[in-house]
Amino acid sequence: MEEEIKALGERLALLLAAAPLPDDVKEAWATLIPEMSIEQIDRLVGIIEKETAGALAEELSDVRADILHIKDMLEVDLTKAALVAERDIKSVVDNAQNI
């Protein structure tokens, strides 16, 4: 039982550190934890896990949008480069035919 409590405490500490909460809220929870029952702590862990997962999902969505934007920009650049290369090749071919 003692090992389970220690593991729960370590998990809660990591979750609180990573949670998308203001520092004063984290400090308030940390102050309350010694007064909480194991069941209350377990519920708090579950809530923080959900909040952290939601924040991570939102951040991943933002990163995905950024990647798609960069991809679109690169595709435009590649299209422009292909058009320039095609024009240059045509010019070389035209010049070679005139020789």
pLDDT digits (tens, 9 = 90+) for 16-34: 888 888 899 888 888 888 8
Listed range (11-20, 49-58, 87-96) with the worst mean pLDDT: 49-58
- pLDDT surpassing 80 at residue 49: yes
Cα separation of 69 and 65, whole Å?
6
Cα separation of 63 and 11, whole Å?
27
pLDDT of residue 24: 92
- In the chain, the amino acid numbered 26 is K
Q: Give the chain's radius of gyration (CA, Å).
A: 28
